[in-house]
Amino acid sequence: MLSVDEALLKLKTQPYADIGFAKVDLHRKIRQGAAEVIYGAGKTVPQISGILRTMTEHGQDRVLITRLSPDAARELSKDFPLRYDPLSRVALLGTPPEPDGIGTVVVATGGTSDIPVAEEAALTAEALGSRVVRLYDVGVAGLHRLLDHREQIMQASVIIAIAGMEGALASVIGGLADCPVIAVPTSVGYGAAFGGLSALLAMLNSCASGVSVVNIDNGFGAGYLANMINHMEAKA
């Protein structure tokens, strides 16, 4: 815990660090409850290293990196003790927090091919402090697989439904659950799936109430939003 004087000093100091190629947001955790997350795709190893070093030098002991290539992870691991998952391409510097929040985040996929996106969502939520239950390969082609997990679905505080092809999983889960459902269309599917566009449009047109949709393959966005919902409290 910070003292009042320490907190005041932090608020008075520069809210970001300009390191030339990046302006690292040092106050994001104060504003939003979670520190800046590094999007690894398109950044060089020296750029990611510079951002990481800046964040840790300013007291950030936990940093999440998404879309980080295996080669970049290997190079960065020489200087930083990263936890890296090659399937989701998510890396975490520091130790995940003990899970808290109002309940459990359920991450469900239509098929095994959706798991990389699902793991990005699950690891994001875990890194931010949520307890996650994974229900993989429970798509509508075998509905009994999903119905076997009705208890976990009905006990969840928020559900992330991840599917490609026709994207029907989100509507089915939305019709079973009494909590918010975050739908994630994936680029899994044959030609007419149009790289996830068919699933995106299907999820946007869901007839189930309480279903919201993030961008194609955006597991990070879904995991971040699910964690925010899982930590909501009534505001006077």
Residue with tokens 């003790």: 81
Q: Quick one: pLDDT at residue 23?
A: 76
pLDDT digits (tens, 9 = 90+) for 11-68: 656 687 766 887 777 767 767 777 788 999 999 999 999 999 988 888 888 999 999 9
Task: Give every CB contact of residue 160 below 8 A, 6+ residues apart in sequence.
Answer: 105, 106, 107, 108, 118, 121, 125, 181, 182, 184, 222, 223, 226
3-state secondary structure of 63: strand
Cα–Cα–Cα angle for 152, 153, 154, rounded to 5 degrees: 95
Length of the chain: 236
Contact 225, 181 (CB under 8 A): no
Q: For the chain, give every domain's residue range.
A: 13-93, 100-230
What pTM was estimated for this model as a whole? 0.89
Architecture of domain 100-230: 3-Layer(aba) Sandwich (3.40)
pLDDT digits (tens, 9 = 90+) for 140-164: 888 889 988 999 999 999 999 999 9
